[in-house]
């Protein structure tokens, strides 16, 4: 599955899904802020469908930005 790139409050989010050996899809996200080191979060949760995993990772990344970004 192709990663999904979005932007939120000046951050770049790159959500992806990786299929596991048991057929589930792990939700992963990379969050990049200009001028800072990228943050990678892997295996946030597992889904039966890769699209659901990417959607979840994107929402999770936006929530992370809202709770951790400096105003």
How many whole angstroms separate alpha carbon 70 and alpha carbon 23? Answer: 38
pLDDT tens for 14-67 read 999 999 999 999 999 999 999 999 999 999 999 999 999 999 999 999 999 999
Instruction: Return the CA Rg of the chain.
Output: 12
pLDDT at res. 71: 61
Residue-range definition of the domain harbouring residue 11: 4-68
Is the pLDDT score of 70 beyond 80?
Answer: no
Number of domains in the chain: 1
pLDDT in the model for residue 69? 85
CATH of the domain at 56: 3.30.160.350
**pTM for the full model?**
0.93
Give residue 22's pLDDT: 96
């Amino acid at each position: 599955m192709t990663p999904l790139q979005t932007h939120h409050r000046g951050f770049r989010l790159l959500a992806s899904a990786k299929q596991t050996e048991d057929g589930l899809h792990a939700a992963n996200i990379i969050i990049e802020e200009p001028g800072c080191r990228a943050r990678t979060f892997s295996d946030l949760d597992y889904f039966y469908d890769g699209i659901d995993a990417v959607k979840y990772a994107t929402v999770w990344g936006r929530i992370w930005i809202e709770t951790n970004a400096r105003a």
